[in-house]
Chains A and B, each alone.
Chain A
Amino acid sequence: MDKQIRPVFTLELNHKIVPGLVTIGKYDGTHPCLTAATTADKVLIHSPHRKNPNTVGRVVWSESNREIATLNINQTITALTAGVLVPEDDKDVLIVGSETHILVYHVHDNKDVFYKECHDGVKAITLGGFRDGKMPIVMVGGNSSVHGFDHQGNEVFWTAVGDVVTSLILMDFDKDGSNELVVSSEDFKIRVFKGDQIINEQVETEVVTGLAPLPENRFAYSVSNGTVGVYDQDVRLWRVKSKHFAISMQSYDLLGQGSTQLITGWSNGKIDCRSIKTGEVLFKDTMNSGVAGVVEGDYRSVGKTDAICASSEGEVRGYTTTKSLSTPPGAGLEQDTVRELLARKQALSLELKHYENNTKYNENAYNQMDSYESNGVIPANTRLQIGIATSDDKSKHNHVEVYVSTNNTTIIKAVLIFAEGIFKGETHVVHPPQNKLSSDILIPLYIPRDTPVDIHIKALVGYPNSVQFHVFEITRQLPRFSMYALLTASPPYDSFVEFKINDRLQRICMWLNQNFLFPNDIEADGTSLKLHLKCLRDASVLTLSFDASGKTLFFTENMALAADLVQSLATFLKIESLESKVSFPKQEDTLKICMEKLGEIQDARLRLGTDVADRIGLIRGLVIRAEDCRINDIDEMAKYYVELDRVNKELISSYNIRLQNYNEGLETMKNINSIIQRASRLRVGPNSSTMINHCRAAIKNNNIEGLLKIIRTGEL
């Protein structure tokens, strides 16, 4: 494809831009300004339509380029967004997130709307309407939670996420007319919150780095392994993987099709435009350096928005809907069609040639025995057999074992397993040495997380000295809880989750057989069922106990595992609401310790703050005195500077202490949040969201006992 669409404008900002931190805002209510974070911790505002250049205040106008203004933040900028927040004001405000604070700044009026400390850090920000509220709220994703603020900085929403938030969007997920919150986090998950309740959860194979809302209740996501895809509610429409990473995604109708396409900016500078429904590439272009962001705005004041791409070197290109030169999908350029058809013809003729040759070979088989092995000729009835099992207790390595073998004397030269998320890359290759080739191979696999995995096995079958091999392809799905092996008995535990379900044991057996790797299918006999399992990762024990009355108990010390089991079972049995009794003494202890620690840390933080204020006062005095001495008494000056140096060193060391204190606080906070999050996942439906709200209240009041009670019973 040649460049059918040329940029309608290009410009150079001459600043280096942090990838991902690009937004656009109409700070005066009408004219859009491209806004980006620079590598020098500044926010750059490019306003080509500025009328009155005499704005003063925080914003510093550049001398060399009259269109560029910068805003000094002096802290690493982690998130940037713009939009209308203040009621009865049509001007956009700029929201800047740094490691610890969030600044909501009114660019036009040059005033801070609010400036607030976020203990949990700021990793992602979005702005929009949520729940039934008419007011827009600022959603701030931190290290383990999401906070929502109104225009006055009051916290109006809180939920625990369990890991570092990477991206947030507000969109209508379930077609009910009001926005849901979609959150991606570093635990590879995409969660959808409707109010306080999680209504959907998707697990990807790597850290999800970005989300973008698309029309028709769809959203696009990008993953740190180079994948980009689109979800239509909980159905993934498509995904593609490349060796580069998607930095920014934007929906824009570039080709004038009446509906929008997905514009993706990549780390290598590539920009591509894909069909939202199929992922087919309709247009691509390349910038000279990595893309930092793609936004949409009316940048030429023509009454129509353009797609604007900014690169990390400060190059900006604008593209607009280009209908006349574009080609609707399906038609394509005629020469491309011819080329494609020729390629298909070629592939088909080659395949035909292979079969013809095969027939011919079989007719003369007896005359051609000499090249038999080296050419990779194998008996036609060669078959590949495969078995998957959890490894036996006696063996030391604790893996899921895949056993591959052929049914005759042919050997397996190599096995390639393609799967996502369980290997370092996307493949695992077994290539035995020449002298150890045999017709069967045992491949141990380590599954790091409890998620179902599709494994695509390609086995190269032939003879030891062949130069060509037949490829046998098999696809299998490993169940969610593959890494658990059966035991005969297990010691009793005091850590458990208990709940009641109204379903037959047979149905539960079905769930068990679908989600575990057992040597034989489990069948329900009698009124109760008890299973003892060993986790192959850490040798911990799990006991599942079901009773005909519906009473169910999962004994395990691993709260996250219990939560996964509950969620999986609830989805299988289509349970919409579930309350459970929980007892995890170890986690409770941790929580107690964490809560106490958090209190201490907060006290220490206050103390340290005053300390710093003291010292700064001291320094001020010392500087003045020292400079005084320069004029009056030069000998004394040295003394003051030595003193200054000492105070300065103290200040630095106290800063380090503060930093450590802050990091500890963050870590503790994360621990607490993740326990709460797991506890909420031990319940299903409204019960889990009420629990979260209770927890938030308990933490605010520092009510440790209450918190523990909520976790145990789900109620206050």
Chain B
Amino acid sequence: MELELSRVDYTIVGITSQNCLKLLPPSASKEPQKVAVADSDGILQIFSVKKEDIQLHFKTLPGPKISSLQLGGAHGSSSDKIFIAAENEIRGYTKKGKLFLTFDPGMTEPVSSMFVLGNDLFLCGKHIYNHFRDCKDVGSYLCGDQIVDVIAFFADKTRRLMSLIACEGRMIRALEHARVTMSMEVESAPTLLHVLEQDGTKTVLFGTVDGRIGILDVEKLHGFDRWLIDNSSNSSTISCVDSYDMTSSGTKNLILGRQDGTIEVYVINVNDNLDAPILIYSHNCNESVSSLQCGVIGTQGFDEVLVVTYTGRIFGLTTEAVDKSVADNTMGNYIFSQDTGNKINKLKSEIEDLQVKVAKEREKYQNSTQSFFEELSAIPLLSVKDSFVLSKDTATYTLTLEVPTAIDNILLQSNVAIDLLDVEKNSAVISYSDADHAIGNFLLATYRCQVNTNRLEIKIRTIEGQHGLLHAYVTPLVQPKCSRLIQFEIKPLSLHYRIHKFDESRLFNTLTMTGTFSLAEMHTWVSQSLPEVPEKPQFGENTVLCFQSTFFGTILQCSYQKGEAFFKSDNVSTISILKEFLTVEATKKKIKISISSNINDESINHVIKLIEPKLIKQKDLNNDIKLLNALNELEVTEEENRTCLSEKYRNLLANEKELRREFQSQPDYLDRLYGIVTDLYIDYNKFKGCNVKSKLATLREILDEYSYDALIQFFRPELSK
């Protein structure tokens, strides 16, 4: 770490969403800047900091939730106009707080993301992209995927106005004049877009749900260039990015905020792909970061990263040394610096006022519970920020839950068998309760959180083929006590993710379904069985969706229209799961369908070849661990004894820590692989009409003594004849 930053807490606002904090341009270089922040209570406020004290310049009245805040201004002038998007309305304020624009774009969806560039205004709802110039509609585009972010810029060479939208379905689309000119596929779902301007050239960066930053080459390659930051140790979703010269070195640094509360500063070089980024600062604030920007805030001349978290905390990471008061205090006892002392006193008196008010209201509420009138107890819905993301490397889901105040406990209930894995970051005490499978409780677990936990991360392992619902009841500590229920769907093919390129050269098993179902019905079924399915089917034409399994790498293609659906996959199990699920769903709706499937025997060999490396690796790992355990018994921990061992064993001992860590990070991985091969065997034979329960023990033996030929022969005995 080369950069030393210290944290200074400023204030709190309401719950915030992405892109809700901006710094107004300074009147002079390195002068303190004003901060504009908007929250979900609909309050926009502008403040500056003087001697650690908040100076509020103006504050609007509460209103509908503000989803985006952007700065803009006419070409040539400084962009100090503030634009906010609240549901279906755009408002513009000057830095003095004067409302100069109220504009209803007439969109059918609430605005979720916005971008302002000169006189151009780009608004996006969930699926609609709208482009306005001087508040006049100049074009719109309807997107099948959900849009998560929009930016616009003038291309370096052509000087044409180009806008980019990031879509959830692993796609970034470039639009000119509201027409898609390019569709750029990326490896994982993007969360945001950022234009990095350095020495007059622009580089488009994007952040992903699995915590990476990529470079998009729009001008030359017309697509994905490379990963700029691909950090395997932290795969938490990127929630905000800024570029700023924090080190005063002349080149801009990249500053990231992540969902797990990490703020990182990197030294980057976007022009040279051999120049790896260097992490120079990292801080974890334990609350998901929703927005950050760099500038000068607290003290003149000191650069600072201003961060706002989901729960509305605003704090700065400043280059100024905060602990300066320690140095001139020889007694070792800590004395508050004057400014902070004032701030603390002010806060304390604020809290006292609040306490009085709360006590009064609390009493009123208590009284109402005693009354005989038909009063109601209505607590507004607690806002819970949740995410349920499939992590590709480990084939597990990461569930995160965050609330604005400390969590008391979380109850997880599921009607399908799932495993909860231990997460090192999570300090909550987990307790499993006996679950009665007969009444649909396959999992009942409570997490009792330690003090001041706002956020909980849980890793969940699902089994393909089983589907159901996961309920999370989140109870925060705040009075009157309430518990919010959040539901997550565990889909039958939960370990698949969407891809855009389908490898047609593989050997496929197919499933054809015809019947009296509509396109919408089929689309619903598909979206119930697979993750990342867009909300709406592609009307008119044949809808084609492709998926890949995280575990195996096998692929699935679904193509369907009204009355007809066609699925093909190189994995028999996938086809079998789909068949079962679709039959059940169709029967539920009393829709007549006819299903035919075609199994390609050769695909078995192909799938086994796909698993083979994983299987062999895990078997080796298991063996190594067994050997290590035995070696430890031998008391060869001392240097002098090691020399008499063979090289293999010495290597094992040398790599012991690594091997054990790998083994521990994926407990029961081998069993999971065995289970999948067993499922494959059962499914394959099911299509042939055989019941093979009795042969499973033999299969297990073959797997223990793994050889490719023996396994193939077991799957397909007809080959040897």
Contacts and interface: CB of A to CB of B under 8 A. Distances in A.
Given A355-B365, A426-B429, A338 B405 contact: no
A474 to B, nearest CB: 12
B485 A467 contact: yes
Interface in B188-238: none
B430 A243 contact: yes
Interface in A402-455: 413-414, 416, 418, 423-429, 431-433, 436
Interface string A336-374: 011101111111111111111111011001000000000
Contacts of B637: 14-16, 38-40
Contacts of A351: 358, 361-362, 478-479
A429 B413 contact: yes
Interface SS of chain B: mixed
B347 A241 contact: no
A241 B429 CA distance: 8
Contacts of A353: 380
B539 interface: no
Interface string A211-232: 0000000000000001000000
Contact of B448 (A15, A426, A432): A426
Given A16-B637, A468-B483, A338 B448 contact: no
B340 interface: yes
A347 B477 contact: yes
Given A342-B313, A431-B413, A376 B355 contact: no
B482 A468 contact: yes
B712 interface: no
B439 A335 contact: no
Contacts of B639: 14, 64
A393 interface: no
Contacts of B429: 226, 241-243, 426
Nearest to A328: B333
Nearest to B474: A468
Contacts of B368: 362, 380
Nearest to A473: B481
B690 interface: no
Given A39-B632, A381-B370, A426-B448, A354 B478 contact: yes
Given A381-B371, A467-B381, A338 B376 contact: no
A335 B316 CA distance: 11
Contacts of A424: 431-434
A323 interface: yes
Contact of A350 (B372, B378, B445, B478): B478
Interface in B326-352: 332-334, 336-337, 340-341, 343-344, 347-348, 350-351
A414 B412 CA distance: 11
Given A243-B428, A334-B334, A470-B481, A358 B448 contact: no
Interface in B171-202: none
B655 interface: no
B404 interface: yes
Interface string A460-491: 10000011111111000000000000000000
A351 B481 CA distance: 10
Interface in A380-413: 380-383, 413
A244 to B, nearest CB: 9
Interface residues of B, number: 87
A347 B485 contact: no
B9 interface: yes
A326 B333 CA distance: 8
Interface string B361-395: 11011001111101111111110000000000000
B483 A471 contact: yes
Contacts of A132: none
Contacts of A382: 369, 377
A346 B482 contact: no
A526 interface: no
Given A335-B9, A354-B478, A377 B431 contact: no
Interface in B467-494: 473, 475, 477-486
A325 interface: yes
B312 A346 contact: yes
A458 B429 CA distance: 17
B382 A355 contact: no
B134 interface: no
Nearest to A15: B637
A341 B635 contact: no
B379 A468 contact: yes
Nearest to A353: B380
B344 to A, nearest CB: 6
A350 B699 CA distance: 59
Contacts of A349: 12, 354
A11 interface: no
Contact of B485 (A425, A433, A469): A469
B441 interface: yes
Interface in A319-333: 323-328, 331, 333
Contact of B375 (A243, A344, A380): A380
B127 interface: no
A338 B638 contact: no
Nearest to A244: B427
A384 B343 CA distance: 44
Given A377-B377, A431-B413, A355 B361 contact: yes
A471 B380 CA distance: 14
Given A342-B9, A346-B12, A355-B365, A423 B433 contact: yes
Contacts of B439: 432-433, 436
B433 A427 contact: yes
Interface in A296-340: 323-328, 331, 333-335, 337-339
B378 A377 contact: yes
A602 interface: no
A333 B362 CA distance: 32
Contacts of A348: 351, 354-355, 358
A347 B351 CA distance: 10
Given A331-B334, A376-B482, A469-B473, A64 B638 contact: yes
B576 interface: no
A62 interface: yes
Nearest to B354: A348
Contacts of A693: none
B119 interface: no
A358 B337 CA distance: 41
Contacts of A62: 638
A418 B362 CA distance: 26
Nearest to B353: A348
B475 A334 contact: no
A268 to B, nearest CB: 8
B721 interface: no
B440 interface: yes
Contacts of A243: 427-430
B7 A358 contact: no
Given A343-B452, A381-B375, A433-B440, A338 B9 contact: yes
A382 B340 CA distance: 46
A617 interface: no
B376 A334 contact: no
A425 B432 contact: yes
A379 interface: yes
Contacts of A433: 439-441
A334 B339 CA distance: 11
Contacts of B379: 354, 357-358, 376, 468, 470
Nearest to B15: A350
B370 A346 contact: no
20 contacts: A15-B637, A243-B427, A243-B428, A326-B332, A337-B344, A339-B9, A339-B315, A342-B313, A345-B347, A345-B354, A351-B479, A358-B379, A359-B364, A380-B369, A380-B376, A380-B377, A427-B446, A467-B484, A470-B377, A472-B481
Given A64-B638, A357-B378, 14 more contacts: A15-B638, A62-B638, A226-B429, A242-B427, A331-B333, A341-B347, A346-B311, A358-B365, A359-B364, A379-B374, A380-B376, A413-B485, A418-B448, A431-B413
